[in-house]
Amino acid sequence: MLTPFGQVNVQDVLDMILVAFLVYQGYLLVVGTRAVNVLRGILVFAGVWLIAEVMGLTTLSYLLSRAGTVGLFALVVLFQPELRAALERVGRPRGRDVAEGGVVLQDLARAMERLAERKTGALIAIERKTPLGEYAATGVRLDAVVSVPFLEALFARNAPLHDGGVILQSSRVVAAGCLFPLQSSDGTYRRYGTRHRAAIGLSELTDAVVLVVSEERGSMRIALAGQLGPDLNGTELREQLRTLVYDRQVPVNRRVDRTPDDTAAATGPESSSPASTEAQPRERA
């Protein structure tokens, strides 16, 4: 085929599609991680180098190209953990993801149950499509497998990271002690405390599934798409987690199922909040 750029054949088209696909996959790997800021820096650096080349600024262009070579090695050293994790993700068989998801689901649900039984407050956000990197950056970075004792230890009273939220990415705990955006205190959720409003707030701004254990009531709930779901028992929690997170076939933005009472309440003036039909949390001034 003849184009303004000359002769283009099937191989060229295939080549372009593959390169675009690889660039996009590379972008997906770094987005939401600390590497994204470095990537921006590299793009600025490359831009300056290109301008220096075009304008014939020989010395600057020479220095930048030398620095680029050294920088490439520095990047590999600096981002060795991220690179390893990314390569592992690329090479991991799909079946292992599913099996791992099942284990994580069970551990997560069991940890929630134990925290609820002991009335230990907890806040856990599970990342889906929207990267939670900016919220993870407000806390302490971790890289740990999800396990019942680990989650219990994180939220134990007096534990250094028990304040704030924990963030899960896939099967890993990636941050703890994170600050989530608070839902504005007006309207439906004004009676709730800050833990619940932080859960609702984050779920409003992202597609994360946010789990809350109430310290006061020992209840387990899910906030999704700016709505706080009803109290859940262990079986219901597992079911919701399977549907919302660990069963990838289901559309990501599917809402938390409502109880018949909730649906009835949604037609009432104080609205769409499941809060109006459930046991109430403590009143706030």
Ligand X SMILES: Nc1ncnc2c1ncn2[C@@H]1O[C@H](COP(=O)(O)OP(=O)(O)OP(=O)(O)O)[C@@H](O)[C@H]1O
Which residues sit at the interface with ligand X, rule CB under 6 A? 121, 123, 163-165, 179-180, 182, 192-196, 198, 214-217, 281
Nearer to ligand X, 25 or 184 (CB): 184
Nearer to ligand X, 80 or 185 (CB): 185
Nearer to ligand X, 194 or 271 (CB): 194
* Coil, strand or helix at 141: strand
* Burial state string for 229-243 with b = 16 or more CB within 10 A and e = fewer than 16: bbbbeeebbbebbee
End-to-end Cα, the chain, rounded Å: 72
Smallest separation (angstroms) from ligand X to the CB of 204: 13
Residue in the structure block whose two tokens are 């069963």? 247
Rg value, the chain, Cα: 24
Q: Which residue is nearest to ligand X (CB)?
A: 193
Nearer to ligand X, 128 or 196 (CB): 196
Torsion on CA atoms 169, 170, 172, 177, rounded to nearest 10: 30
Smallest separation (angstroms) from ligand X to the CB of 183: 10
Smallest separation (angstroms) from ligand X to the CB of 269: 23
Nearer to ligand X, 215 or 262 (CB): 215
| Residue 158 CB-density burial (10 A; 0-12 exposed, 13-18 middle, 19+ buried) | exposed
Smallest separation (angstroms) from ligand X to the CB of 162: 7
Smallest separation (angstroms) from ligand X to the CB of 116: 10
Cβ proximity of 196 and 107 under 8 Å: no
Nearer to ligand X, 78 or 161 (CB): 161
Smallest separation (angstroms) from ligand X to the CB of 168: 14
Nearer to ligand X, 61 or 120 (CB): 120
Cβ proximity of 202 and 212 under 8 Å: no
Measure Cα distances from 278 to 190, 203, 219, 221 in Å: 15, 20, 11, 11
Residues 6+ apart with CB under 8 A from 153: 159
Smallest separation (angstroms) from ligand X to the CB of 180: 4
Structure tokens at 280: 């109430």
